[in-house]
């Protein structure tokens, strides 16, 4: 059953962001893409790539897509691939901070014209971001910008509250993501019943946080320990169903151990929020924040002059204008801003309007 959701779109100068909110206004998916990274491979796109070399163990191929990182295809029908050959591939999972995109062979009619170099062939047939979601409303402008700012803040926090009390601690490591369930200030009830109720609520919230943050790979959830096999099974089933609901797909989830540990293997598909934000050079991040703030202030203070104090690295990035932000912003609010260099740390700009 699909989730009814509100789609928030912030099509800002320099960066496009989207978020999905559930019927209670809680974000459960988040996507951000900078103008400077346009052209990167997206989930379910079909590309032409050139097989360049075998992966270690000769189980697959590195595939050149003419991007910064080669894709990797774990081909089960590797006889269809020859070194140097141009092959059609589908993006199975987007590139992360330290890995190129994961690929699969794409079905392509033999009559399809072949290009002479790697590149994008076709976009996805459907938007993966909206998989198994029924959009009941769409918002943009100032309201959407605020919702997305709040969603990003939620996604970057180490802790997340559990409805009716308790919290989750979410730690991402190179090998896995660990989620710890804590009763915290939750009002205590009867022994086993209290533990079961908390774990059931934590299972749903953990799945929502996984969707919001775009977490993939191995996830280990440390629920409160339960002596009852029946209770452990109930929480495992609830976690499986919650992942289907929030992610729009089934995931491999192991039974909870007597110690309360539950392992889940989640397909890496769209890149995580941490990867999307963590890959941005600090000067560009500050520059994008300045551009967005100027646009927002321009909406609020129509006709006023706008000023911004920025760090030296951000000032250089803004002045270079490699993404064409100046013309785009002038089209939206008019060319009524001045950017001034200030002796301040990167990431702490100041923007205001002057009548």
197 phi and psi, to 5 degrees?
-60, -45
C-beta neighbour count of 254 within 10 angstroms:
12
The confidence score (pLDDT) of residue 343 equals: 84
CB half-sphere exposure, 327, CA atoms < 13 A: 5
Q: Are 198 and 224 in contact (CB under 8 A)?
A: yes
Query: What pLDDT does 185 receive?
Result: 74
Mean pLDDT per 10-residue section of the chain, whose length is 355 residues = 92 98 97 94 96 86 91 74 90 87 90 92 94 96 96 97 95 94 80 91 98 96 94 97 94 93 94 92 96 95 94 96 98 95 86 88
Q: What is the number of alpha carbons within 13 Å of residue 179 lying toward its C-beta?
A: 29
Give the model's pLDDT for residue 78.
56
Q: Cα–Cα distance between 108 and 1 in angstroms, integer?
A: 32
Q: What is the CA radius of gyration of the chain?
A: 23
pLDDT for the residue 59: 79
Torsion sign, CA atoms 74, 75, 79, 84? negative
Total-model pTM: 0.92
CA dihedral sign, ordered 299, 301, 302, 307: negative
Q: What is the pLDDT of residue 344?
A: 79
pLDDT at 108: 86
**Separation between Cα atoms, residue 238 and residue 243, nearest integer Å:** 9
Place of tokens 């609010």: 333
CB 181 within 8 A of CB 223: yes
Give CA–CA dist 294/318, Å, rounded: 13
C-alpha span between 268 and 17 (Å, rounded): 20
The kind and range of the H/E element at 230 are helix 229-247
Which pLDDT score, from 0 to 100, does residue 355 have?
77
Q: By three-state DSSP, how is residue 168 classified?
A: strand
At residue 81, the pLDDT reads 85
Distance CA 327, CA 331 (A): 6
In 3D, which of 62, 152, 127, 130 has the Cα closest to residue 99? 62
Separation CA 344–CA 313 (nearest Å): 10
For CA atoms 141, 147, 150, 154, give the dihedral sign.
negative
């Amino acid at each position: 059953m699909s989730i009814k959701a509100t789609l928030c779109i912030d099509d800002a100068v320099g960066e496009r962001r989207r978020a999905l909110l559930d019927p209670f206004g809680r974000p459960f998916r988040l996507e951000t893409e900078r103008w400077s990274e346009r052209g990167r491979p997206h989930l379910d796109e079909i590309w032409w790539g050139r097989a360049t070399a075998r992966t270690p163990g000769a189980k697959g191929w590195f595939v050149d897509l003419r991007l910064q990182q080669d894709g990797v295809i774990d081909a089960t029908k590797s006889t269809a691939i020859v070194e140097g050959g141009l092959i059609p591939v589908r993006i199975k999972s987007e590139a992360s901070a330290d890995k190129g995109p994961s690929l699969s062979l794409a079905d392509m009619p033999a009559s399809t014209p072949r290009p002479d170099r790697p590149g994008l062939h076709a976009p996805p047939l459907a938007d993966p971001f909206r998989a198994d979601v029924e959009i009941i409303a769409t918002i943009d402008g100032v309201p959407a910008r605020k919702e997305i700012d709040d969603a990003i803040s939620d996604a970057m926090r180490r802790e997340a509250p559990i409805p009716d009390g308790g919290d989750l601690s979410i730690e991402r490591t190179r090998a896995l993501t660990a989620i710890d369930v804590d009763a915290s200030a939750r009002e205590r009830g009867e022994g086993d019943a209290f533990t079961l109720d908390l774990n059931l609520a934590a299972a749903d919230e953990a799945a929502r946080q996984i969707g919001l943050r775009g977490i993939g790979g191995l996830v280990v959830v440390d629920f409160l320990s339960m002596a009852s096999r029946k209770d452990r099974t109930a929480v495992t089933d609830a976690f499986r169903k919650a992942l289907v609901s929030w992610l729009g797909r089934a995931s491999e989830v192991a039974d909870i151990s007597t110690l309360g540990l539950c392992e889940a293997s989640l397909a890496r598909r769209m890149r995580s929020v941490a990867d999307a934000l963590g890959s941005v050079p600090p000067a560009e991040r500050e520059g994008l924040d300045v551009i967005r703030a100027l646009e927002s202030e321009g909406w609020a203070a129509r006709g006023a002059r706008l000023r911004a104090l920025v760090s030296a690295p951000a000032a250089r990035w803004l002045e270079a204008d490699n993404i064409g932000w100046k013309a785009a912003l002038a089209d939206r609010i008019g060319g009524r801003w001045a950017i001034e260099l200030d002796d301040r740390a990167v990431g702490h700009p100041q923007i205001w309007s002057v009548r």
